[in-house]
A and B are shown apart, each in its own frame.
Chain A
Amino acid sequence: MQPAYFDHNSTTALKKEVLEAMLPFMANQHGNATSRHSFGRTARAAVEQAREQVANAVGAYANQIVFTASGTEANNFAVRGICSNMEPAINSVPAQILTSAIEHPCVSRPAAAMRGYTAKSIKVDSSCNIDIAHLQKLLVAPTNLVSAMLVNNETGVIQDIAKVAELAREHKAFVHTDAVQALGKIPVDFFALGVHAMTVSSHKIGGPLGAGALVLDKRIDIQPLLYGGGQERGLRSGTENVAAIVGFGAACDIAIKNLSAFDVHTANLRDHLEIGLAKLNAVIFGYNGLRVANTSFFAFNNIEGETLVTALDNAGFAVSSGSACSSDSTEPSHVLLAMGVPEDVARGAIRVSFGLSNTQEQVQHFLKVLEHEIARLHNLTAIAA
């Protein structure tokens, strides 16, 4: 049995067409996009074409796209850049930055690090939905920025960002959404969401690592994170990573073309998986929420997640025990804790995230291995007890 990659929310394999689009820019088309000679102009044209492709994928105009080196950078840029250009205190009371309790740390940490501000967390319910009533209550105090993700990376639950944006705007706050896990899984429309800034990333949609973007409402006054040569209309200095940007653009085109196929295919795989999981008495997190089709986050009572992940890995299945970006730590998932999942259950959590390349046979085999491992681990626990 070939190994199976079930960790697409962490990173995805580069699409063949994307590599082909990138290769010329790793070889003879090597110009610096700021140079005025033909090498530079070729690079510039390629960057601008990619900007159109990204804009098209998110329902925005090309001049609203600021390329960054990653989703992390775009999130830091949004939070720090928007807040730095505003008065942190209103009538000498520190203004609030509100982030949902399930944000990626690259949103919540820069928010917490902003000097002069009070960072607060918006609660979520047990299905991983943002608690709108809590947001309304928080918004009574002066707020400069609300940041909430469109799709949670761990549970796959889709948030009602349009509603969040509407409420935030009523209170004169800016709104940012991290849409990294949404792009390529559900339709993403910048204008329909009504946000001021939105983060997307290349390597989650079959593009290369090393490119991300912040989509910006043009009326927003944002401070750069990086100063220098004045690239990206002065908003993000640094020589453009032409090959990665071209790859990002190409990946956007493919992701949009594949959107419904991705949805149907991964929904079938996940339903198959979750029918099996139910038989094994798994707890499925966010099951009652509206989820993207490819993600399933679950746990078994009295079984350590790490132990199970290792056993699955030995059997050739790449899954995740939480989000990769924080999986250096053995802390239980902050998302599950925010949903009110008890700590010992949260520690057992496993995330499966499918892609177009996965098959029903892989899922079937996975369930078989899982059943076997759970029986084995339960026996071990029984002996220990």
Chain B
Amino acid sequence: MERQPIYLDYSATTPVDPRVADVMIPYLCEHYGNPASRSHPYGWTAEKAVENAREEIALLVGADPREIVWTSGATESNNLAIKGAANFYASTKGKHIITIATEHKAVIDAVRELERQGFTATYLEPEPDGLLDLAKFKAAIQPDTVLASVMMVNNEIGVIQDIAAIGKICREAGVIFHVDAAQATGKVVIDLANLPVDLMSFCAHKTYGPKGIGALYVSRKPRVRIEAQMHGGGHERGMRSGTLPTHQCVGMGEAFRLARLEMATENERIRMLRDRLLAGLQDIEETYVNGDLEHRIPHNLNISFNYVEGESLIMAVKGIAVSSGSACTSASLEPSYVLRALGRSDELAHSSIRFSIGRFTTEADVDYTIDLMKSKIEKLRELSPLWEMFKDGIDISKVQWAAH
């Protein structure tokens, strides 16, 4: 049997931690009740498990369990937060929305949908390091700005935005503030008791929990309201109807509990691995790290390898599972819109690779990756006329290409 490649794509999705799977399985088999069934213990057991899990979500992020609404994942959380708040407050606050060009598609496309419904939007360009300039953010606020949405940790380059400062600006201006924290849980300390954030999206499958489950934090103090996007039995205090998948809620709860207990030590271990990987890859000529290295989760390394074609690179490094651009858009061959927003050229954006390290990555995995990258890039560059020209001292950006 073919050996499985080394998995370095933890930002696309993580394996379910075996400890998480263990607590989920009883809720798939013996305790299969519908948590909304009031009339028998099958339902009560399920409901209790769902509520315990809700508490675990709240504990990791410093929220009250009553502020946590279950969803099917970060995409639904983002859609519910953005469309739900924009529609609820449009008549009182206005119809202008601010977000960043490097947000996840679930945020960008939800805002675009609101634009079709008559809202206006500003898509702020981040600085070349991927971070948002607070003065530019402040200047973008208009009298009719209803909502701002800024992600905590970027999925492609791993940079961490200054959510506390952005939130403070929003509070002062009376703007509802949504944060997509799908990539942040278990990696960055989140304390919603002290963060000026109104709505925050989470998902389980980026933090060693199952796919198909997520949550939305909806602040109670100050009280934030959203218009439900899914109607029905009135579950989740009317904010989100639908039978809750008990085993998945339980899995997310356990995943978040483990994240809370192990985050500090795990991050240190992962930082060491990342630094080892970075040091190894920086031996290769003409490599560029994308995004700020300091304000960044330790799990992520996004590097462009100049004079190498991105697709051939991905094909060449089949021994490792990595991603070029985010998984959610990697069905297309477009260069990453995130890297383009940082001002990277198409060539550099195309030749970028995101390495994302996680709980089950070992030092040996990292060393194998460094060796593989070195040998494959050398080979690809041997074949590249551009690399030859570069080596001959020709500035390729100044070359006038003739059409033929």
Complex CA gap A231/B12 in Å reads: 14
Q: Kindly supply a per-residue 1/0 record for chain B positions 350-385, scoring 1 wherever the CB is within 8 Å of any chain A CB and 0 otherwise.
A: 000000000000000000000000000000000000
Indicate if B330 sits at the interface (CB-CB under 8 A).
Answer: yes
Take A19-B28, A34-B327, A326-B234 as given contacts and tell me if A244 and B37 are in contact as well, using a CB distance cutoff of 8 Å.
no
Q: Are A238 and B75 in contact (CB under 8 A)?
A: yes
Return chain B residues, CB-CB under 8 Å to A318.
33, 37, 39-43
Take A10-B34, A325-B232, A326-B233 as given contacts and tell me if A209 and B15 are in contact as well, using a CB distance cutoff of 8 Å.
no
Complex CA gap A352/B28 in Å reads: 22
Partner-binding segment picked from B240-248, B281-289, B334-342: B240-248
Q: Are B247 and A208 in contact (CB under 8 A)?
A: yes
A369 to chain B, nearest CB (A): 14
Q: Are A239 and B205 in contact (CB under 8 A)?
A: yes
Which A residue sits closest to B107, measured CB to CB?
Answer: A228
Q: Are B78 and A324 in contact (CB under 8 A)?
A: no
Return chain B residues, CB-CB under 8 Å to A35.
9, 12-13, 321, 323, 327, 330
Complex CA gap A309/B41 in Å reads: 12
Q: Are B39 and A327 in contact (CB under 8 A)?
A: yes
Complex CA gap A37/B37 in Å reads: 42
Contacting residues of chain A (340-380) with chain B, CB-CB under 8 angstroms? none
Return chain A residues, CB-CB under 8 Å to B328.
34, 228-231, 237, 239
Q: Are A14 and B211 in contact (CB under 8 A)?
A: no
Q: Are A105 and B75 in contact (CB under 8 A)?
A: no
Indicate if B16 sits at the interface (CB-CB under 8 A).
Answer: yes
Take A27-B21, A210-B212, A328-B36 as given contacts and tell me if A75 and B15 are in contact as well, using a CB distance cutoff of 8 Å.
no
Partner-binding segment picked from A106-114, A132-140, A161-169: A106-114
Partner-binding segment picked from A51-59, A66-74, A213-221: A66-74
Take A34-B328, A35-B330, A39-B7 as given contacts and tell me if A313 and B39 are in contact as well, using a CB distance cutoff of 8 Å.
yes
Contacting residues of chain A (157-193) with chain B, CB-CB under 8 angstroms? none
Indicate if A286 sits at the interface (CB-CB under 8 A).
Answer: no
Return chain B residues, CB-CB under 8 Å to A329.
234
Indicate if B278 sits at the interface (CB-CB under 8 A).
Answer: no
Complex CA gap A239/B73 in Å reads: 8
Contact of B5 among A5, A37, A104 (CB under 8 A): A37
Take A26-B24, A209-B243, A210-B245 as given contacts and tell me if A106 and B233 are in contact as well, using a CB distance cutoff of 8 Å.
yes
Indicate if B312 sits at the interface (CB-CB under 8 A).
Answer: no
Q: Are B211 and A241 in contact (CB under 8 A)?
A: yes
Return chain B residues, CB-CB under 8 Å to A230.
105, 328-329, 331
Contacting residues of chain A (275-334) with chain B, CB-CB under 8 angstroms? 306, 309-310, 313, 317-321, 324-329
A18 to chain B, nearest CB (A): 9
Which B residue sits closest to A42, measured CB to CB?
Answer: B4
Complex CA gap A40/B9 in Å reads: 10
Indicate if B19 sits at the interface (CB-CB under 8 A).
Answer: no
B103 to chain A, nearest CB (A): 10
Q: Are A72 and B234 in contact (CB under 8 A)?
A: no
A246 to chain B, nearest CB (A): 11
Q: Are B106 and A209 in contact (CB under 8 A)?
A: no
Indicate if B14 sits at the interface (CB-CB under 8 A).
Answer: yes
Return chain A residues, CB-CB under 8 Å to B40.
7, 309, 313, 317-320
Q: Are A320 and B112 in contact (CB under 8 A)?
A: no
B246 to chain A, nearest CB (A): 6
Return chain B residues, CB-CB under 8 Å to A208.
28, 245, 247
A288 to chain B, nearest CB (A): 27
Complex CA gap A73/B79 in Å reads: 13
Return chain A residues, CB-CB under 8 Å to B28.
14, 19, 22, 208
Take A237-B105, A313-B40, A325-B232 as given contacts and tell me if A244 and B16 are in contact as well, using a CB distance cutoff of 8 Å.
no
Q: Which of B9, B37, B112 has the most CB of A within 10 A?
A: B37
A23 to chain B, nearest CB (A): 8
Return chain B residues, CB-CB under 8 Å to A227.
75, 79, 105-106, 109-110, 112-113
Q: Are B230 and A327 in contact (CB under 8 A)?
A: no
Q: Kindly supply a per-residue 1/0 record for chain A positions 1-45, scoring 1 wherever the CB is within 8 Å of any chain B CB and 0 otherwise.
A: 001010100111110000100100011101110111111100000
Complex CA gap A123/B295 in Å reads: 61
Indicate if A339 sits at the interface (CB-CB under 8 A).
Answer: no
B326 to chain A, nearest CB (A): 8
Complex CA gap A39/B360 in Å reads: 15
Indicate if A242 sits at the interface (CB-CB under 8 A).
Answer: yes
Indicate if A211 sits at the interface (CB-CB under 8 A).
Answer: yes
Return chain A residues, CB-CB under 8 Å to B75.
226-229, 237-239
Q: Are A37 and B243 in contact (CB under 8 A)?
A: no
Contacting residues of chain A (69-121) with chain B, CB-CB under 8 angstroms? 69-73, 75-76, 104-106, 109-110, 112-113
Take A203-B243, A241-B72 as given contacts and tell me if A113 and B327 are in contact as well, using a CB distance cutoff of 8 Å.
no
Q: Are B32 and A11 in contact (CB under 8 A)?
A: yes
Return chain B residues, CB-CB under 8 Å to A40.
12, 321, 327
Q: Are A228 and B109 in contact (CB under 8 A)?
A: yes
Return chain B residues, CB-CB under 8 Å to A72.
230, 232-233, 241-243
Indicate if B76 sits at the interface (CB-CB under 8 A).
Answer: yes
Complex CA gap A13/B33 in Å reads: 8
Which B residue sits closest to A106, measured CB to CB?
Answer: B232
Q: Are B106 and A211 in contact (CB under 8 A)?
A: no
Take A227-B106, A228-B104 as given contacts and tell me if A73 and B243 are in contact as well, using a CB distance cutoff of 8 Å.
no
Complex CA gap A228/B75 in Å reads: 6
Q: Are B104 and A5 in contact (CB under 8 A)?
A: no
Return chain A residues, CB-CB under 8 Å to B4.
28, 38-39
Indicate if B391 sits at the interface (CB-CB under 8 A).
Answer: no
B113 to chain A, nearest CB (A): 5
Q: Are B242 and A105 in contact (CB under 8 A)?
A: no
Indicate if B229 sits at the interface (CB-CB under 8 A).
Answer: yes
Contacting residues of chain B (83-132) with chain A, CB-CB under 8 angstroms? 104-106, 109-110, 112-113
Q: Are B234 and A30 in contact (CB under 8 A)?
A: no
Return chain B residues, CB-CB under 8 Å to A27.
15-16, 18, 21
Contact of A12 among B7, B32, B323 (CB under 8 A): B32
Return chain A residues, CB-CB under 8 Å to B234.
105, 326, 328-329
A12 to chain B, nearest CB (A): 7
Q: A37-B318, A208-B245 are in contact. List 16 more A-B contacts (CB 8 A).
A: A7-B39, A7-B42, A13-B32, A22-B28, A28-B15, A35-B327, A37-B5, A40-B321, A76-B241, A105-B234, A106-B241, A109-B231, A209-B245, A228-B105, A244-B211, A325-B34
Q: Which 6 A-B pairs have the closest CB atoms?
A: A241-B212, A106-B232, A229-B328, A228-B106, A325-B233, A69-B72
